[in-house]
Structure 1
């Protein structure tokens, strides 16, 4: 096909009803679109077939992961333009999926079919999780989902996360601070909110590579039990604990939170773990944490939140993230989280949004990945590295645009006499 880029641009604009603000570079070397704009590189006809057979987010993701689509120019600008065109053009505009269903644009769809060719739908990339969406959030399915995400390889995570090995939103004193300093500040913020004192017993749910457990034991003299479902995380965390000389104060277990039976604990931290719990299991999760906490003990729940839908029954899980990043992961509005904690018996004392901090964190992780791209690909696969690049860059924009947020919820298991043990001015976060 001569001048495939111009043909693609014309057909896509006909489908969407608006001019493209991206350039298109096609497999034949042709190019069309605004000069100087980021380019969507369509490497082959298979990319068009992926979009035709699965319009919208999942088709785009499959083409990206497989290397059929690429971006030339600023990644964030390009992703912002793509998301605006496909998903967020306002109530009077059509999404790509709606456009393809509209009889008035079927001629354009037929034109794209001619461009794409007629082989069967391309198989999904091997990085995509294939499973039936049944029996979610059992111990077995949760362990499998956690393994998919966290057992990518500790060497790979060292590239992305840097020396802190903290895989959750940092807490930035300023945008030009180091990632390590911002992550240390986040861990210290959690410790101060929990009011840690020497000798207390802390349960760290979803302990990752051990950073919170090590910080709390080393800096605040507490005894810590850290639990994870990832074998690779646990092995890495145990070595770090030993290297720090903290084996007498920190125990790392491969254990489901539902199976912890040696409470009560004085304090509990759950940092970036509750997103894996699921809506149907969330009250059970909250009740289990309440059961494991002594009266007067504090819980710090650090969790990503989505914006609420006007009709919550219309909420659907993000297809790309569910298929490639966090199988079975679910986000809830912060109000829902607070309500479930209260239903479990907790008194919620403070909610702090740190949304902007996650945008900064993700951009640093993206920069780390891009700076060591060749090694990242060797440690995983080209497709897996592309999953992570797309996921983190898109999430950075989502936090910056207030499409999703992240909150620290501080709650107390208040004793029967109602004495919470909280200071009168809790925002000082004294003990």
Structure 2
């Protein structure tokens, strides 16, 4: 082993232990300038010994993620190529748990840390890690409000850089790969309106209304009165401004309100777009029951949600996404969601899988973030920008690999008007 590769080679051996693999398809560059690994592979840079120390204390996805968020590790080239290489060797892009290192492997990691001068106390987590309590009862109103605030009250200016003019933070619907993000988001909003059968004079509820994009679309294009609820004060403030700017304050009511506290039904239609992931598996029956009670007989509900497709094991609650992105978030399978909706007395009219569409959407968001990187760092800080870069790129790879999916499930409360004979009514 030459001096020019010694540190990087030892780091490569340590990373292989953490990933549970024999070879890493990456070019590693160490803090001393040494390099090791295939010359034509994506580059992963270890900027400080603290990165190795984080891997030692948390030998898995969390330690690697903390090192990336803190800037101890960097992927200076194609972020997708780097993360794809990591995930092909281990489980960096997955939500599932790593295989814990054996006692022998831990000893090897310790020896490597000693040799490279990286042994020391556990570094503090980056400040971007969620402060939401990880103990006690989940999905109380106060705990849900704190979890939502962590994610959505990051700043409307930052989200505008990532999402673009549509300000829609959920999977778009793409005619093809060249459609463009804004057109694909408008197509998604219109598809939801058509599936819900919206008509002038109807009253709709948008659960988790975000920055008001669906409410505005439904009111402007379909003549519907809309109540939108969110737990994010920053989202609500911008949504109300957008509503006022187009003169629709008499048609669109934006509230900072928990969906469980909405009691002024009935509604002709309910949209829940990218919200039920925050509800939790145990609370899903109550979620369905409450929305059922808010619907008129014959009223439709569209539930648009990410699903967990990677087998019976649930995602690791101690991995990167729960720690940094969606505290207390919980993906359930499509089968569980459909079962809960049917058990809650709702008739399934249509199910549409949009997995590939979300991969395209996430890649477009990453492109926006990287295009406006300096401004994003000024707006939200370097650590938060790195959280979103990691989260969106890794999520895109998860959708492309089929570990996660996203589905629109259209249901109807029995009674009232019969649904159309064919789904051509909304295609």
Shorter-chain TM-score category?
Answer: over 0.9
Could you tell me how far 1:308 is from its partner in structure 2?
5.4
Alignment of 1:348-387 (within 5 A): 348-387=348-387
Tell me, which stretches of 5 or more residues in structure 1 are unaligned? 90-94
- Contact map agreement 1:216 1:222 (CA 8 A) in 2: yes
Could you tell me how far 1:118 is from its partner in structure 2?
2.3
Question: Partners in 2 of 1:339 and 1:4 — Cα distance?
Answer: 53
Alignment of 1:28-427 (within 5 A): 28-87=32-91, 97-98=99-100, 100-101=101-102, 103=104, 105=105, 108-114=108-114, 115=116, 117-130=118-131, 131-307=133-309, 309-310=311-312, 312=313, 316-317=316-317, 319-415=319-415, 421-427=418-424
Question: Partners in 1 of 2:317 and 2:332 — Cα distance?
Answer: 10
Could you tell me how far 1:326 is from its partner in structure 2?
0.5
Residue 7 (structure 2) pairs with residue 4 (structure 1): yes
User: What SS does the aligned partner of 1:279 have?
Assistant: coil
Tell me, which stretches of 5 or more residues in structure 2 are unaligned? none
**What is the RMSD computed on CA atoms of the aligned residues?**
1.9
Q: TM-score, normalised by structure 2?
A: 0.94
> How many corresponding residue pairs?
418
User: What SS does the aligned partner of 2:283 have?
Assistant: helix
Output one character per residue of 1:117-173: Cα deviation in whole Å (capped at 9) or x when no partner. 321110100111242332110110011111110000000010000000000000011
User: What SS does the aligned partner of 2:282 have?
Assistant: helix
Could you tell me how far 1:64 is from its partner in structure 2?
0.4
- Contact map agreement 1:308 1:333 (CA 8 A) in 2: no
- Contact map agreement 2:24 2:86 (CA 8 A) in 1: no
Bigger CA drift: 328-337 or 112-121? 112-121
User: What SS does the aligned partner of 1:137 have?
Assistant: coil
Question: Partners in 1 of 2:107 and 2:139 — Cα distance?
Answer: 44
User: What SS does the aligned partner of 2:235 have?
Assistant: helix
Q: TM-score, normalised by structure 1?
A: 0.93
- Contact map agreement 2:56 2:110 (CA 8 A) in 1: no
Output one character per residue of 1:191-247: Cα deviation in whole Å (capped at 9) or x when no partner. 000011100000000000000000000000010000001111111001101111111
Output one character per residue of 1:275-328: Cα deviation in whole Å (capped at 9) or x when no partner. 000111111111000000010000000000001534x5x653361111100110
Distance change in 2, residues 1:263/1:328 (3 Å): same
